[in-house]
Amino acid sequence: MCSIMGYCGESASREVFEKGFERTVSRGPDDSRVVDTGKGLLGFHRLAIMGLTPSGMQPFRLGNSYVVCNGEIYGFEKLREMLRKKGYTFQSDSDCEILLPLYREYGTGMFAMLDAEFACIIYDGEKRSYLAARDPIGIRPLYYGYDPKGTILFASEPKNLVGLVGQIMPFPPGCYYADGVFHRYCDIAQVDSYCQDSLETVCENIRRKLIAGVEKRLVSDAKVGFLLSGGLDSSLVCAIAARKTNAPIRTFAIGMRQDAIDLKYAREAAEYIGSRHTEVYMTPEEVVGSLEEVIRTLGTFDITTIRASIGMYLVCKAIHKRTDIRVLLTGEISDELFGYKYTDFAPSPKAFQEESQKRVRQLHVYDVLRADRCISVNSLEARVPFGDLDFVRYVMSVDPWLKMNRYGKGKYLLRHAFEKGGYLPADILWREKAAFSDAVGHSMVDYLKEYAETQYTQEEFEAGCRKYSHARPFTKESLLYRDLFEKYYPGQGDMIPDFWMPNRSWKGCDVDDPSARVLSNYGDSGK
């Protein structure tokens, strides 16, 4: 990961800018640079992944224009060759150096051309104005707000902007900002018509496109590792990668010592694919002791996101301390496409699709937020094969009647797609879904709930909940998370739409805890 920031006007104070910008130096500890464009400031903290030489340092400049980008542009070599034929020259092997030439040639139309995970800020030296953009899913973070004089600021994380602007808001995915207006260039969740492929053709395409999504994310000038939970999604990513690399891949799993469901399955998957596997164990003290730092890192009060982040934060911390790995592939985004445990209760294909669209559009403030922050705060870069744009577009276009759980097994299409070829042992390929916050150990969530109970009397809890009108807490745990969030992001609760919960309007989903373990269909998921 890298960190970017832009103070987009003449009211920019360098001292104020640098104070905010230094809060995310862990995203890019290799080098830092701030440039004065003549009409504001652009900053870049570098984590060198592609083009490791100093020539790959940003901001990049072309004439009087500048760009900073936190991103990975897949297949950039073809775009660079096309631009060379138009007379452009390049000084580095960085994928992001192509952005200013692309902008000069195609203007804002360039964003729809990119197969990328990116967030960028451009200063157009000819127009003396700024524009910014973010990838269609929002895998790379970007936030914005306005200073007291009305000047817009952009930054990789909300912590950069605390105290510099009024309301902080996430930059909408699939949009670009220009001339004071946000424009949508891609709604990745929108489907105009469903594809009519048969089930077998759908599964064949899913397998082919996911393999391609993993393969392109293995390209890196820095060392690559893999988070392996032992669940279906991360195990498939690792199994595919193991076949695409010459040396054994490095995999990492985390859990509580006494009741981590996933550790045994991760160990089995690692042995099967022949990876160099590392297990990390959490203690109850680490779970509770890391809570406040995790919430500060995440910038959220959401229960599900925080619970699931404890383990990810601690395993990434261990990877950073013990290895020289810089890139991590993860299994996020599969659930939003193929379904959760609670989407088994979807009353119709239409309802299933609408729920999937909602979740995909909100990924940037839930699952993707967790993966980005837990990984980047430990000076690592996240890559998400299930978020491959071609893959997401295709799965979203599949008839939801096929994606619903009509087979007695959730995510049937994904499982069936890899049933042939021996990618995984059958007991992992067909294993029931377990929530990550449970799978690292059922006791972990229990420790958090017990700790929250000690923080408030019943009267304090009731009074505390009344403090908040947006996303009002409803348990002591949720109040604790909200209070800790407000400590670091005072008055910024609108950054998060609400608590991530199953669709309570569906029969069987009207629950008061987001964990799948409270659903009637959880069954063998916890074994």
pLDDT in tens, 149-194: 999 999 999 999 999 999 999 999 999 999 999 999 999 999 999 9
Angle, CA of 229, 234 and 238, to the nearest 5° = 110
Residues identified as active-site? 2
Sign of torsion over alpha carbons 395, 396, 399, 401: positive
Percent of the chain's residues with pLDDT above 70: 97
Residue 414, φ and ψ in degrees, nearest 5: -65, -40
Cis ω on the peptide bond leading into residue 54 (within 30° of 0)? Answer: no
Query: For the chain, give me the number of helices (H) and strands (E)?
Result: 21, 17
Identity of the residue numbered 34: V
Residue that wins the pLDDT comparison between 483 and 519: 483
Residue-wise pLDDT tens digits, 280-308? 999 999 999 999 999 999 999 999 999 99
Q: Read off the pLDDT band of 433 (50, 70, 90).
A: low
Other Cβ atoms within 10 Å of 478 Cβ, number: 23
Backbone angles phi, psi at 195, to 5 degrees: -70, 150
Sheet hosting strand 169-170, strand order edge to edge: 31-36, 41-46, 3-7, 152-155, 143-146, 169-170
pLDDT in tens, 109-140: 999 999 999 999 999 999 999 999 999 999 99
More confident residue, 4 or 518: 4
Question: What are the pLDDT digits (tens) for 266-285?
Answer: 999 999 999 999 999 999 99
Angle separating helix axes 232-244 and 199-216, nearest 10 degrees: 60
For residue range 294-353, what is the model confidence (pLDDT) as tens digits? 999 999 999 999 999 999 999 999 999 999 999 999 999 999 999 999 999 999 999 999
Q: What are phi and psi of 441, to 5 degrees?
A: 140, 115
Q: What pLDDT, on a 0 to 100 scale, did the predictor assign at position 246?
A: 93
> Looking at residue 434, what is its pLDDT?
57
Amino acid at position 130, single letter? Y
Superfamily of structural domain 3-184: Aminohydrolase, N-terminal nucleophile (Ntn) domain (3.60.20.10)
Mean pLDDT of the chain: 94
Confidence of residue 518 (pLDDT cuts 50, 70, 90): confident
User: Is residue 327 within 8 Å of 49, Cβ to Cβ?
Assistant: yes
According to CATH, the superfamily of the domain at 199-526 is HUPs (3.40.50.620)
Token pair belonging to 154: 């952009």
Ranges of each domain in the chain: 3-184, 199-526
Residue 524's pLDDT is 57
CA torsion, ordered 411, 412, 413, 418, to nearest 10 deg: 100
Q: What gap in Å lies between CA 153 and CA 176, rounded to an integer? A: 14
In angstroms, the CA 268 to CA 192 distance is: 42
